[in-house]
Amino acid sequence: MYGFDALLLDVDGTLADTERDGHRCAFNAAFAEVGLDWDWSEALYGELLSVTGGKERIRHYIEHWRPPFEAPDDLDGFIADLHRRKTRHYLEFLGQGRIPLREGVTRLLRQARDAGIRLAIATTTTPENVSTLLACSGDTDIGDWFEVIAAGDMVPAKKPAPDIFRLALDKLQLPAHACVAVEDSAHGVRSALGADLQALLVTVNAYTQDQDFSAAALVTDGLGGPASPVKVLQGTLEGSDHIDLAALDAMHRRVYLA
């Protein structure tokens, strides 16, 4: 029925707008918990998102943004402890239902599952953050729909390196040309294309809308839905006025069969 076998999805910014009101607030809660006067504003966090990975982001902040900071001898241990605290706060926020899935995500995933399209995650965040986000999404079994969850420290190099998408493809035992990928950021685009996932949709968000997506096959302002057409920012949308399997299939065909 469709010309592709699997859908590989990013998490933060793609499945849900997790950064501004989720991860950022969790970092600030962890800083306060250990008595640090660090406060990542929405604007500063937008800058810090240039570094993927929470532990890597904390280290970058210490090295580049923080006035002279008396770093403890075991800086790695200090950062790991801070990140564990941050993750605990983030999981709490998810459990409070503070971070809903973006519009159209459940609809598209359900359509893919019903059509036999295999589902995989490729993300920089931790596996626990992924499973909890999905479990708190309202459709409690949505996490079971994913055959593969490639996440966080499973790979040595995080996005924009291609490692996490390559791991997802390896676990699926599929070639890149048999798949469609969905991302939200320039780092994610570089990671997906680095894994040769050319049939790539980008659904931008407030933090990423001004980034360079010229290499992506299709860029929209989201997945939309039958009652809410999407805005196409790059490429052409065929088959429907929102992102469904027909639209992804048309994109995949344009990339590989044109």
* Minimal distance, residue 6 CB to ligand XBP, in Å: 18
Tell me if residue 179 falls in helix, strand or coil: strand
Considering the rule CB under 6 A, would residue 249 count as an interface residue with ligand XBP?
no
Number of shown-chain residues binding Mg ion (CB under 5 A):
6
Q: Which does 235 bind (CB under 5 to 8 A by kind): ligand XBP, Mg ion, none?
A: none
Q: Peptide bond before 160: cis, by omega within 30 degrees of 0?
A: yes
Considering the rule CB under 6 A, would residue 124 count as an interface residue with ligand XBP?
yes
Instruction: Please name the amino acid found at residue 147.
Output: E
Q: Which stretch binds ligand XBP (CB under 6 A): 48-56, 106-114, 137-145, 203-211?
A: 48-56
* Minimal distance, residue 40 CB to Mg ion, in Å: 17
Pairing assessment for the beta strands 218-220 and 200-203 based on DSSP bridges: parallel
Considering the rule CB under 5 A, would residue 184 count as an interface residue with Mg ion?
yes
User: CA torsion sign, 23 to 27 to 33 to 34?
Assistant: positive
Full DSSP string of 27-76: HHHHHHHTT------HHHHHHHTTS-SHHHHHHHIIIIISSS----S-HH
* Minimal distance, residue 14 CB to ligand XBP, in Å: 7
- Tokens standing for 21? 């009101």
Considering the rule CB under 6 A, would residue 54 count as an interface residue with ligand XBP?
yes
Look up 10 and say whether it is catalytic. Answer: yes
List residues binding ligand XBP (CB under 6 A).
Answer: 10-13, 19, 23, 52-54, 123-126, 129, 159, 185, 188
Catalytic positions, written as ranges? 10, 12
